[in-house]
A and B are shown apart, each in its own frame.
Chain A
Amino acid sequence: MEAENCIELVSINKSYSKAKNRLDVLRDFNLTIKQGEFIALMGPSGLGKSTLLHLMGGLDKPTSGQVVINEENIESLSERQLTSWRAENIGFIFQSHHLLPVISAQANVELPLSLTPLNAKQRKQHAKVALELVGMANRATHLPKELSGGQEQRVAIARAIATDPKILLCDEPTGNLDRKTANEILSLLTTLNKDFGKTIVMVTHDLKAADYATRVINLEQYIDENQATEDIVSAGEKL
């Protein structure tokens, strides 16, 4: 049985305006990602990989087009609705971990859980499980500055999965890490994908990182191919 569509980007246009200049980053872009896929989104800088990730995560809105996540059209949601939607559905992992430096690893992981109806005891329990999953249970009480880069990223992953979202969006999660640590993080993401059924979209420049994905999308190539198909269809319509 074929997996259901998890993320659908339909006819997406995205432009940025700066002063009098307009930059079209995405033009009539379409992409479908199935439930349980681990996508590596690759390509040269400036092509819009992070923009795509932000659109999927409701961090940004398309200039036009539809973003459908688990059958919910999110580009029509208000800012307030998007905020709570993100808390329920998406886990973010960034290149820089963005942990709050003044609270412990455990407290950082508990942070998104404070938006759920869980009580304090349940939040602690969930955070503990998430930290165990990423192998950081023994560092729960440490402040971020007391952790290595890899450990910080593990805590960031624990924070992303603490609320058990179906989708994990990773923006160069291994960009700041050495090879060995990067491999550990990627293995962890693979586990989350295979064993816990998370749909993962990962932006990366690292070919070795892409090896861990179930599907690699080279954005430059993808856009060219789709654009060519579109041109043929347009030509056919004209005929």
Chain B
Amino acid sequence: MNMLFLVWRNSLRKKSRFLLTTLSVTVAFFLFTALSAVNHALNVNVSSNNQYRLMTNHKVSITRSLPVNYQQKIAVLDGVDNVSYASWFGGYFQNESNQLAMMAVEHQHYFKLFDEYLIAAEQLQQWQNTRTGVIIGNSLAEEFGWQVGDKIPLSSSIWMNKEGLFSWEFVVSGIYHTKDSSVDDQRIFFQHAYFDEARAYAGYTVSWLSTVINHTADIDAVAKSIDVLFANANAATRTMTEQVFIKEQAQQFVDMAMVIKVIMAAVFFTLLLIVCNTMLQTNRERLNESAMMKALGFSSAVLILQVYLESLWLLLLGAASGSLIALLLMSQISLQFADFLPGIAIASTHYLEVLAITFSAAAICTVFPAFSIKRLSISKTLGGIT
């Protein structure tokens, strides 16, 4: 019989309480791990696909358009390898609940810049030669049963065509696959040239331009040179790395990093209250046993260590299960949000944080029981004056 065995047996004394407290800890660490993964995406450079790509949009807002001729002007700047552009279509299929990530893209160069989309050469050729052609992600093709050659009616919640309709007719020219699972395979691309010809207004403008710089160029210098170029134009620009752009999109409504920190603080404060309360209650129920153990010759330090180990065991169990659930779930969520917020991942240092928090929380939860044990009078607890 050793102390760890006693701690183990004591922890399971009230099974329902142990289970409920562990579940609370699990939920807290699940939230902590999940939010850390999101925080990671907001703070860390992620995809190697986009580290040489710049995004240029209107200085005022992404909802404002830029002239399409900016492409040629950017293309001649030092350090620039290639430039393309795109516009958000706001598409949906049949009804608005079937929202689609649909974009009009410059058809000559776009897929050279975005080589994470894998398209068969003949299908790409076919698409470039077909005015109303679309290239769709394989996952989307499977979902709706679309095949190359199918005519598909798609609608836009933003753009009306010259016929006065929001319904547009397209033909599937190709189906793309992705290099890895972090790339969205549910997008639809169609020719910007067709978009410019067919839309009722705002022709020959684009939502944003994408620039690939050569690998020896200074990315910040190139970004600055683009913005300087259009500083006095009607449509001034703001250029940033694709990563920063994505982060800004995510943070345009609210400072997510701050919200995450506040939530994490709240979660851990609640966690501390729950576990502290459990340990206090446990300690109160066992005062007689503690007094008896003291009478037998166990020091207060040993009894306090037992409380600490019991808190630690409870917290470690909850932390491990919470982190594991988050790990499994976030691997799925990171795929779903690959485009909106790439880089959702649990950093290896996070597990060290979890361990540090667990050990510290166990120590905090032991403070009050420790005082109680230290002050415990054996004679008063076990018997009166008789």
Q: Of residues 26 to 79 in A, which have CB atoms within 8 Å of B's CB atoms? A: 45-51, 53-54, 57, 59-60, 79
Residue A107 is within 8 A (CB to CB) of chain B in the complex: yes
**CB-CB under 8 A for A98 and B289, given A51-B379, A59-B378, A84-B297:** yes
Cβ–Cβ contact A46 & B297, under 8 A: no
* Residues of the B chain whose Cβ atoms lie less than 8 Å from the Cβ of A100: 6, 289
**CB-CB under 8 A for A92 and B295, given A51-B379, A54-B379, A111-B1:** yes
Cβ–Cβ contact B383 & A87, under 8 A: no
| Interface 1/0 per residue, B294-323 and A, CB below 8 Å | 111111100000000000000000000000
Cβ–Cβ contact A111 & B293, under 8 A: yes
* Residues of the B chain whose Cβ atoms lie less than 8 Å from the Cβ of A23: 385
Residue B77 is within 8 A (CB to CB) of chain A in the complex: no
Cβ–Cβ contact A25 & B296, under 8 A: no
Cβ–Cβ contact B378 & A49, under 8 A: no
Residue A80 is within 8 A (CB to CB) of chain B in the complex: yes
Q: How far is the CA of A54 from the CA of B300 in the complex (A)?
A: 18
* Residues of the A chain whose Cβ atoms lie less than 8 Å from the Cβ of B300: 79, 83
Cβ–Cβ contact B298 & A83, under 8 A: yes
Cβ–Cβ contact A87 & B382, under 8 A: no
Cβ–Cβ contact A103 & B1, under 8 A: yes
Cβ–Cβ contact A94 & B382, under 8 A: yes
Residue A19 is within 8 A (CB to CB) of chain B in the complex: no
**CB-CB under 8 A for A102 and B385, given A83-B299, A111-B296, A115-B298:** no
Cβ–Cβ contact A86 & B386, under 8 A: no
Cβ–Cβ contact A103 & B292, under 8 A: no
Cβ–Cβ contact A171 & B383, under 8 A: yes
**CB-CB under 8 A for A86 and B385, given A59-B378, A103-B9, A107-B1:** no
* Residues of the B chain whose Cβ atoms lie less than 8 Å from the Cβ of A115: 296-298
Q: How far is the CA of A128 from the CA of B201 in the complex (A)?
A: 95
Residue B10 is within 8 A (CB to CB) of chain A in the complex: yes
Cβ–Cβ contact A87 & B385, under 8 A: no
Cβ–Cβ contact B1 & A102, under 8 A: no
Residue B288 is within 8 A (CB to CB) of chain A in the complex: yes
Q: How far is the CA of A102 from the CA of B13 in the complex (A)?
A: 7
Min CB gap A62→B, angstroms: 12
Binding site for B on A (CB under 8 A): 16, 23, 25, 45-51, 53-54, 57, 59-60, 79-80, 83-84, 86-88, 92, 94-96, 98, 100-103, 106-107, 110-112, 114-115, 120, 123, 159, 171, 203
The 5 closest A-B pairs by CB, nearest first: A87-B297, A102-B9, A98-B292, A107-B1, A54-B379
Would you list 12 pairs from A and B whose C-beta atoms are within 8 A, ordered by A residue? A88-B297, A92-B292, A92-B296, A94-B382, A98-B288, A98-B291, A100-B6, A103-B1, A106-B1, A107-B5, A114-B2, A171-B382
